[in-house]
């Protein structure tokens, strides 16, 4: 039987951590149904000098990557995509929000990826600027797509401390009348609320933006480690394989490895590859961090 994709290639990618090249050429080299999680932040439309993609053409630019990732994802695998709205700079929509993010989400869903959730990454420290008749941008989207009907998802890995104090939690556990009927029907059994070891964090994930605060991270759009940590913990199993096809300075790879996953990334610009390589080497000796995100 011929296995589609290149198993040796995958082993090499994981060994190298970061591979220099176009993800469009490298993704098809991943074996079919082999990847647990693609976690990535692609270049946003019209954004950086390093890869300027017009928002009108963003969907057609991105779809071949989404297709290649679909092939390589395991049945329980996911694609988690961090992306941000833009304001149209020209054309009939000039000055308005461009709909490219929403068009992209629908197009990815039509490819077969199952749209599971939209998360809001809330930034407590977004920088003010001149944004026209609107407030500053203080959130970005993180879209979760799954390959199959039962994606890996470990809510327990991202639970956060309960808001109630210890006395209240103890009282609730003893409450014999935990389930109270209301006019609307049966209430939830509140004696069970505190048995899970922590609260559900919700789909607003608050992580401060990083402004190149990591010593020497020379990438203009490096994502905060806490964002990668949250999604890698919740959507990939321990020991699973995490790939970032737009790896930049290597945040996904560094965090995933620290969390006990096997990880690799692709990057088309050589100076970012150098940066990721340096950071991977520097981080390989570091310990596991605590929670870097909090409930919004
Ligand atoms: C938003 S940045 C990723 C930042 C990264 N998450 C980090 O924390 O450093 C997107 C990256 O995708 C890279 N890129 C753009 N097109 C690519 C392609 N076709 N293949 C691989 N990398 C690409 C860019 O050079 C850029 O570094």
The full set of domains in the chain, from first to last, is 7-160+202-295 (3.40.50.150), 162-197 (no CATH)
Token code pair at residue 82: 């961090």
Which residue of 267, 271, 273, 278 sits with most ligand 1 atoms within 8 Å of its CB, as the best mutation to test the pocket? 267
CA of 47 to the centre of ligand 1 (A): 12
pLDDT confidence bin for 290, thresholds 50/70/90:
very low
24 CA closest ligand 1 atom index: 19
Give the tens place of pLDDT for each residue, 102-128.
Answer: 999 999 999 999 999 999 999 999 988
Reference 19, options 225, 258, 257, 253; nearest CA is 253
Q: Which residues make Cβ contacts (< 8 Å) with residue 78, sequence separation at least 6?
A: 36, 37, 38, 116, 144, 145, 146, 147, 151, 152, 235, 236
CA of 193 to the centre of ligand 1 (A): 42
Token code pair at residue 227: 């964002």
Among 50-59, 252-261, 278-287, the minimum mean pLDDT is found in 278-287
Give the tens place of pLDDT for each residue, 223-279.
Answer: 999 999 999 999 999 999 999 999 999 999 999 999 999 999 999 999 999 999 999
Q: In terms of pTM, does the model score above 0.85?
A: yes
Q: Is the pLDDT of residue 171 over 90?
A: no
The count of other CB atoms within 10 Å of the CB of residue 61 is 16
């Amino acid at each position: 039987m011929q296995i589609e994709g290149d198993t040796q290639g995958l082993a090499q990618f994981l060994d190298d951590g970061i591979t220099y090249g176009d993800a469009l050429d490298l993704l098809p080299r991943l074996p079919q149904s082999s990847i647990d999680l693609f976690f990535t932040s692609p270049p946003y439309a019209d954004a950086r000098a390093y890869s300027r993609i017009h928002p009108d053409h963003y969907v057609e630019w991105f779809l071949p990557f989404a297709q290649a990732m679909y092939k390589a994802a395991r049945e329980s695998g996911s694609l988690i995509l961090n992306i941000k709205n833009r304001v149209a700079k020209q054309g009939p929509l000039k000055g308005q929000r461009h709909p490219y993010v929403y068009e992209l989400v629908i197009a990815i869903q039509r490819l077969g990826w199952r749209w599971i959730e939209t998360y809001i990454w809330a930034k407590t420290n977004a920088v003010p600027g001149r944004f026209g008749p609107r407030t500053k941008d203080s959130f970005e989207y993180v879209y979760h797509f799954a390959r199959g009907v039962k994606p890996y998802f470990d809510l327990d890995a991202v639970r956060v401390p309960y808001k109630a104090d210890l006395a209240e939690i103890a009282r609730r556990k003893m409450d014999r009348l935990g389930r109270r009927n209301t006019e609307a029907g049966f209430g939830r059994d509140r004696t069970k609320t505190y048995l899970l070891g922590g609260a559900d964090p919700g789909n607003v994930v608050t992580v401060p933006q990083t402004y190149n605060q990591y010593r020497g991270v020379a990438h203009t759009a490096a994502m905060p480690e806490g964002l990668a940590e949250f999604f890698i913990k919740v959507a990939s199993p321990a020991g699973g394989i995490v790939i970032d096809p737009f790896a930049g300075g290597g945040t996904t790879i560094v965090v995933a490895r620290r969390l006990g996953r096997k990880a690799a990334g692709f990057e088309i610009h050589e100076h970012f590859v150098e940066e990721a390589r340096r950071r991977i080497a520097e981080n390989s000796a570091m310990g596991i961090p605590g929670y870097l995100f909090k409930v919004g």
